[in-house]
Amino acid sequence: MDGSSNADGARKGRKGGLLQAPRGAASLGKSFAPVVFFVSVTLLSLGVFLFILLSGSLEQEKAKAESASQSQTEILEVYLSSAIREVDMVMLSAVWEIGHQQETGKINPAVLNTFLTRRQALLPQIISLGAADEAGNMRYGPGVRESAPANVSDSLYFTKQRDDAGAGLVFGAPVMARISRRWVLPLSRRLTNQDGSFAGIVSASIALDYFNRIFSKVDVGPNGTVTLIDGARSVIARHPSPEEHAGYIGRVLSSPQLIDIMNVGKTKASFSTIGTLDGITRTFSLKKLENHPLYISVGLAEQDYLTSWHRQTKIALSVFTVFAAFLLLSTALLLLAWKRLNRTMAELVLSQSRAEASMVELRTSVAVQRATAARLELVLKTAAEGIVGIGADDKITFANPEAAALLGYSSAQDMLGLTTVEACRHRLANGLLCTQGVCAIRQTLQDGEVRRASDESFEGPGGRRVPVEYAVAPLMFEGRIAGAALVFHGIGKRIEMEAELKRSNMELEQFAYAASHDLREPLRMVSSFVTLLEKKYAGKLNDEAREFIGFARDGAQRMDRMINHLLDYSRIGRSKEPFRPVDLNGVMKEVLVDLGPLIEQLQADVLVSDGLPVVRGDRDELARLFQNLIANALKYRFPDRPAKVRIGSRGGDDVCTLFVEDNGIGIPPEHRDRIFAIFQRLHSQSQYEGTGIGLALCKKIVERHGGRIWVEGEPGVGSTFLFTLPLSCQGVVSKSCLPPS
């Protein structure tokens, strides 16, 4: 009774230990949940705080950029207004001088030209100062030629002064100066006669380079811009500018913000937009020049003024990422340590029960191994295959009775300790001993690859050579090759049966050839007598009789064609001539000549790609192959479109793939294997004539040449017949260049 109580107590103890592990795991999950929640809330709070901080910093940087661009715009507006005012004062002095000379009676050209030259020299921004008469001819000024004066009557700054007595200071569109060949901004003032009529203009030209020099002194960063535009949003000057002024001068800016600002008549504004000329996002400040129809714009690129912000953001995100990674890693390590502690406690509780169970399993395992070894020994001894175990030193360590019987040994024990060469006298397919060539068994012992062979032989102690089919596989131990297992069986009877089957097939082909040839004579007689019967009784036969006679003659003719095709089919492979190099380009020329009348009748388009390969094979059979495939493509053409056939090839190392592609009716996918069987047709005789042998003949030709044939395409779109052929051996006579027997 005491022993029973102790055993029950031990079982209960083990049961209790097994139940404690799940309760520990549940306790772990509940205890660790607050830690996970705290870490998640901490990271989320830090992320939100960092986002708010960076967003506020971004807005501050944008505000700074807007303030800086506004200040630069104000400075440039004052400077440019002053510069234009100086030019206007010079032009007004010229207007007064011309009016004064008119009052004295007559203009003195020499005096006036000297006056204009001196006034022009006063201001560096002016590159030309002159006066034009009422017809627009430039009469006075530095560089003016009296014999061939320039005419500006078609210019806006002339026509506006001529048509409007109160125009005041007029700005023209930027133009290329005729003399200096520099881009300039023309300005003009009106000249009047004493009676108030239009007498011409005084014009001054400001070089656009002058504006660019001023703009270049403004620090707008590597990607910032300073732009001078007119009231129509056309660009007059820009810094930085392309090498060629024509690339941007006169270009109309299409920014929606700029359009809205100028439409409502604002004189100054700030906005952010993408640059029309270069696609860069900038913060712009715009201001209209005082008393002039021009606007100055300063744009600071976000990628410039946000450089510091981006750097700070990267640093902040890096610090946050490192902190988050550290916090998560610490949490994970703590969780891992907690799990390990809990698992260790559970393992300590289960250790005693596992030790007891291990003893039981060990006893069971020993018994199972003994039973397995006995079954394995029984299988090896009764196996119908010869099985040999080979050590890493190529010596036989095991052989089953079947292996000994196949090789002629009285007992498997006689093979142990021998090398494979000594025990099997392994011969290769060419009859040489494996020591004189490449031995698959020794190679497997060296590289660990599985190998198979079916055309080699073994030779036992009696000298009897046994054709075998074998497989050799490596035996691995701790990552190295410890030996190999050789499994083989004799194939002598199979070789004899294959030879007998080949002989039977040859006899069957010869019989089919003779029978088909003999059947044609009665058919020709039936057809001839039916034709004579129709001619002799032509006037006595009614329509139904003539129709029956026609059926009989057509049936005899179809049977004759079918027998003729059967003869062709049986002739394939009867030639004993060796395969030779065949240039498919020459073959295609002959085929197209034979099919020429049919191609011309159907007005078909047959295209042969250049450079078809040279293959090895039977020239006549390959010509029949291409002729059948092209004729097939022409026969099954689509009724509503002209037939198109394309022949070409795709290269390879040892074989090439050729194709015959058409735009015919196509072949449904479910029938693509069926069409290559003999007498198989997809259409009735009334739709398409034929015997159902053509594609079977093609398949036989391709397979005789060691290739395969298949079809692709879509119904209603067309078909592509593809087949493979071996490339030419280029004159080398070898077994691979001979036709299969």
**Alpha-carbon distance 227 to 255, whole Å?**
14
List 610's β-bridge partners, or say none: none
Instruction: Answer whether residue 5 shows pLDDT above 70.
Output: no
Collapsed DSSP state (helix, strand, coil) of residue 723:
strand
Report residue 680: phi and psi, to 5°: -95, 120
Whether the upstream peptide bond of residue 642 has omega within 30° of 0, thus cis, is: no
pLDDT in tens, 107-161: 888 888 899 999 988 888 898 899 999 999 988 988 787 777 888 888 989 999 9
Mean pLDDT for the stretch of residues 458-480: 86
pLDDT band at residue 509 using 50, 70 and 90 as cut-offs: low
- Alpha carbons 209 and 182: distance in angstroms, whole number: 8
What pLDDT, in 10s, does the model give residues 154-202? 898 999 999 998 889 999 889 887 666 788 999 999 999 888 899 999 9
The pLDDT tens digits for 227-282 are 999 888 889 888 887 554 456 788 888 888 888 888 898 888 998 888 766 778 88
Contact of 65 with 309, CB cutoff 8 Å: no
d(CA 119, CA 139): 17
Residue pair 160/191 in contact (Cβ under 8 Å)? The answer is: no
Indicate the average pLDDT of the chain: 81
SS3 563: helix
Alpha carbon distances (Å) from 561 to 574, 628, 690: 21, 15, 9
> What does the longest C-alpha to C-alpha distance in the chain come to?
155
Instruction: Check: CB of residue 140 under 8 Å from CB of residue 130.
Output: yes
Give pLDDT, residue 169: 93
* Exposure of 419 in the CB half-sphere (CA atoms within 13 A): 13
**Residue 483 three-state SS:** strand
Euclidean distance between the first and final Cα of the chain, in Å?
89
Tokens of 338: 């907690």
CB atoms within 10 A of CB 261: 21
Token pair for 284: 């712009």
How far is Cα 70 from Cα 79, in angstroms, rounded to an integer? Answer: 14
CA of residue 100 relative to chain centroid, distance: 81
Residue 725 to residues 577, 635, 703, Cα–Cα distance (Å): 18, 25, 9
**pLDDT at residue 550 greater than cutoff 90:** no
Residue 19 predicted with pLDDT over 90: no
Q: What is d(CA 568, CA 703) in angstroms, rounded to the nearest whole number?
A: 16
480-490 and 386-391 strand pairing? antiparallel
CA-CA-CA-CA dihedral for 246, 252, 257, 259, to nearest 10: 160
- Taking each helix axis as running N to C, give the angle between helix 109-122 and helix 2-103, from 0 to 180 degrees, rounded to the nearest 10: 150
Cβ burial of 423 (10 Å; 0-12, 13-18, 19+) is: buried
> Smallest Cα–Cα separation from 204: which of 93, 82, 81?
93
pLDDT tens-place string over residues 610-639: 889 999 888 888 998 998 899 888 888 887
Contact 540, 500 (CB under 8 A): no
Q: How large is the average pLDDT for residues 358-377?
A: 79
In degrees, to the nearest 5, what angle opens at C-alpha 96 toward C-alphas 196 and 110? Answer: 110
pLDDT in tens, 278-322: 778 889 899 999 888 999 999 898 888 888 888 888 898 999 899
H or E, element range at 299: strand 294-301
User: What does the alpha-carbon distance between residue 264 and residue 113 come to, in Å, rounded to a whole number?
Assistant: 45
Q: Checking DSSP bridges between strand 718-726 and strand 709-714, what pairing results, if any?
A: antiparallel
Measured CA to CA, the distance from residue 441 to residue 82 in angstroms comes to 101
Please tell me the pTM assigned to this model. Answer: 0.42
The reported pLDDT for the residue numbered 162 is 92
The Cα–Cα gap between 650 and 629 comes to 17
